[in-house]
Every structure is written in structure tokens, then in C-alpha cells.
């Protein structure tokens, strides 16, 4: 902005008229001061912002009138005032961190610019323009607060995501370990059970083959005795084959119960519950109420079955219970499975621990299909595991 130049006396009337029109046509506050800081002119907008009539301001020291204190109310010396320095040092300024004071003693945030008035080479005073930036300051503060809150939420969400990612990694590692342990168990059973049975069968087959080769050399009586021994061997081999078939069936059932494919989820859940209480020697209170025609897609059915298995497994590992109450209800909109035991229970935080991989696995399976796992437990009062899944 160019430095205002004081007009010559000859052009003074025209200048005064044009200046008056300019001052009254703007919404910004504008006033001029002489070298003593006294007001030479002020427009209507400026006077209204300061809470004065125009006539009340003329001739008044503007620093003492409206710029006498800092925002905190402390004294503001005119020697430190940028407005005065604009003509004392001949330097323009633009300030948006201070306040002007109204006639009623209230202050408002202001942005002002001060430029010296130069007549030839001599400074005559200064022109000050100012605007009330209270709303702008309030909006800026609100925006900054919103940014700060957003930053806090982003940081919080980032921590949550990092924690969730860490838990998922731990869960993945745990699942890999469980899978590897299961493979090891199956390999051991195949080796110990099926392997020994097949070796015994091979020995019996070799024995029979060898004896058949010697059959022609025996007397009729010895041959009849040998046939009796061979019949015994065949019966023994039949028993070994039956045991092998049973072991294969058991291993297959552990991997994936055939009842789940042949008779559906509800029959599989009932079979699993009775198998568990029989092996764990627990009393069972069984209740199932499923509306006719309610079936789950295979992925959801498998997830529900595995969650149910983990609920029972948790009872077997930790509860030390003597009784189990299982309720299964399903209608067109919701499946609910509740497993209640009368065991020792545990504090709630135990089930929320980062190392509670079984619970975490159940939650992840349920969440994948829009469901949720609720756990209620207190020391000495047993536990309730509940699955709710929309259908």
C-alpha cells in the first residue's frame, strides 16, 4: 500500500469531500491521528465499532481511548504502540494479535494497519484501518480445537489399529501353532496306531504266505492243524483291520465331523455336546429350539461349530465344573448359543487378555459373520459363554 500524501491547501476542499465519501463507504474502521496521537478524522464504521459517536472521538488521544491495554488488561505504553511507531519511525505495520477497547470497557480482537501520512518529506501523522476479527478468531480457535481433537482421535484410532494388528498377528501365530500341533498329533496317531496295526497285518500276511508255501509238505493231520491256525490268524487280522478303520474314522471326525455334512449343524452341535459331557463326565442340561427350515450356509455353519467346540474346550480346560447347561435357539433372524457351567469362574479381565487366544479366535470367527461373543464370569460363580449371530 502506498503511503498517503497530505494534499495541498488549494485542493483541500475537494480532498476533504472525496475523503469523506471514501471513509463512509467502507465497512472497515478508519481514523487518522496527528503526531500527538489525537484523532483528526474517523469514519462512522470505526466509531460504531469503538462504541462512540464520531464527534466524541475527534481530538481525543486514540491510544488512551482505545489502545491503552493489552488483551490481559495490563498497561500498554504508547512508546510500544506500533501505531505510533508508524509515523515516529516512518514504518507501516499490520497487526492481528492485539485488541481495541470499546467505550463500555469491553475489548475485541482487532486486525489493524497503520501507515504514516507524509507531506513532502515530513511526516504529519498516520492513517489506521481496523476490522473486528472476533468471529474470525473464534472460528480459527474452533478450527484449531477441531484439528486438535481430530489429531487426538487419529492418534487414538492409530493406537487401536496398531493394538488390533498386534493381536491379529499374535492370533495368527497362535493359529499356526495350533495347526502345527494338530498335525503333529494326527501324525503321531497315524504312526502309533495305524502304523502298528499295519505292521501287525503285514507280519500276519507274511506268516500266512509262508505257511501256504509249506502246505504240500505236511501230512493231512498237520495240514488240518495249520488250517485251524490260519483261521485264527485271519480272525486276528480282521480285528486289526476293524481297529484301523475305527482309528481312521476317529481321526477324520477330529478333522471334520461327517455328521456336520450328512445331518447338518444342529445334529452336529447335539452330538458334540453329548460326546464332550460323556468324556468329561459332566451332567448336561440340554435345550435346543430351532424353527423348522433354519439352515446356515456352510462357512457360517463351520464357524458356529468351531466356536461351540472352543466353548466346550474352555470348560474342559479351565472350569473344573460338574454340570453344563447348553441352550441353543434359532429363528429367522438370530442364532443364540449359551454355554453355562458351574465351575470356578474367573475375573472378566482374564478373557480380555492379549494371550486369551481361544477367546480371541471365537470373537474373530463370530465377527466375520456379523456376530458377537459375550462372556460373563466371576470367581466362584461359573461362566457363561454366549454367541449371537444374525441369520
Dump pLDDT digits (tens) for 225-237. Answer: 777 777 777 877 7
Q: Is the pLDDT of residue 287 over 90?
A: yes
- Helix pair angle (265-280, 298-314), 10° resolution: 20
Distance, in Å, from the CA atom of 95 to the CA atom of 242, rounded to the nearest integer, reads 97
pLDDT digits (tens, 9 = 90+) for 149-193: 999 999 999 888 888 788 777 777 777 776 777 777 776 766 666
Q: Helix axis angle, 220-255 relative to 196-213, nearest 10°?
A: 160
Domain spans in the chain, listed from the N-terminal domain onward: 9-132, 140-251, 262-390
CATH topology of domain 262-390: Heat Shock Protein 90 (3.30.565)
Question: To the nearest 10°, the Cα dihedral for 317, 318, 323, 324?
Answer: -70
Band (pLDDT 50/70/90 cuts) for residue 254 is low
Q: What is the pLDDT of residues 341-357, one digit of tens each?
A: 999 988 888 888 777 77
Strand-pair partners of 387:
337, 373
What does the pLDDT read at residue 374? Answer: 92
Burial (CB < 10 A; 0-12, 13-18, 19+), residue 27, is exposed
Residue 102, pLDDT score: 93
Q: Give the span between the Cα atoms of 233 and 208, in whole angstroms.
A: 8
Q: Which CATH class is domain 9-132?
A: alpha beta
Higher pLDDT, 359 or 19: 359
Across 363-371, average pLDDT: 87
- Specify the pLDDT at position 213: 63
Residue 260: predicted pLDDT: 77
Output the nine-digit C-alpha cell for 202: 503285514
pLDDT averaged over every residue in the chain: 82
Decide if pLDDT at 286 tops 70. yes
Amino acid at each position: 500500500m502506498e503511503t498517503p500524501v497530505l494534499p495541498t491547501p488549494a485542493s483541500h476542499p475537494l480532498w476533504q469531500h472525496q475523503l469523506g465519501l471514501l471513509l463512509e463507504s467502507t465497512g472497515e474502521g478508519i481514523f487518522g491521528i496527528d503526531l500527538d496521537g489525537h484523532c483528526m478524522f474517523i469514519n462512522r464504521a470505526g466509531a460504531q465499532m469503538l462504541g462512540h459517536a464520531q464527534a466524541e472521538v475527534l481530538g481525543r488521544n486514540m491510544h488512551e481511548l482505545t489502545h491503552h491495554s493489552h488483551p490481559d488488561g495490563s498497561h500498554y505504553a504508547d512508546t510500544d504502540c506500533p501505531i505510533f511507531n508508524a509515523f515516529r519511525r516512518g514504518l507501516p505495520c499490520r497487526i492481528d494479535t492485539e485488541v481495541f477497547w470499546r467505550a463500555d470497557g469491553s475489548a475485541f480482537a482487532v486486525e489493524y494497519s497503520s501507515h504514516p501520512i507524509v507531506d513532502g518529506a515530513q511526516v504529519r501523522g498516520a492513517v489506521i484501518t481496523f476490522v473486528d476479527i472476533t468471529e474470525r478468531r473464534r472460528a480459527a480457535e474452533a478450527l484449531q480445537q477441531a484439528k486438535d481433537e481430530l489429531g487426538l482421535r487419529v492418534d487414538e484410532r492409530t493406537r487401536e489399529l496398531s493394538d488390533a494388528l498386534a493381536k491379529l498377528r499374535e492370533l495368527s501365530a497362535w493359529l499356526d501353532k495350533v495347526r502345527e500341533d494338530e498335525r503333529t498329533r494326527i501324525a503321531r496317531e497315524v504312526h502309533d496306531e495305524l502304523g502298528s496295526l499295519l505292521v501287525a497285518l503285514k507280519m500276519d500276511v507274511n506268516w500266512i504266505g509262508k505257511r501256504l508255501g509249506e502246505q504240500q509238505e505236511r501230512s493231512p493231520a498237520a495240514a488240518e492243524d495249520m488250517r485251524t491256525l490260519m483261521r485264527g490268524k485271519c480272525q486276528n487280522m480282521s480285528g486289526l483291520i476293524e481297529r484301523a478303520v475305527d482309528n481312521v474314522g476317529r481321526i477324520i471326525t477330529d478333522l471334520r465331523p461327517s455328521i456336520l455334512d450328512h445331518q447338518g449343524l444342529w445334529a452336529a452341535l447335539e452330538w458334540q455336546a453329548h460326546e464332550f459331557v460323556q468324556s468329561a463326565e459332566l451332567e448336561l442340561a440340554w435345550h435346543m429350539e430351532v424353527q423348522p427350515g433354519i439352515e446356515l450356509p456352510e462357512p457360517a455353519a463351520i464357524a458356529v461349530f468351531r466356536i461351540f467346540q472352543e466353548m466346550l474346550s474352555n470348560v474342559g480346560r479351565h472350569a473344573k465344573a460338574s454340570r453344563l447347561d447348553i441352550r441353543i435357539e434359532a429363528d429367522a433372524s438370530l442364532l443364540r448359543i449359551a454355554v453355562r457351567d458351574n465351575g470356578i469362574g474367573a475375573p472378566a479381565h482374564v478373557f480380555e487378555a492379549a494371550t486369551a487366544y481361544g477367546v480371541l479366535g471365537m470373537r474373530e470367527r463370530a465377527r466375520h459373520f456379523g456376530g458377537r461373543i459375550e462372556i460373563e464370569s466371576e470367581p466362584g460363580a461359573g461362566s457363561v459363554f454366549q454367541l449371537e449371530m444374525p441369520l
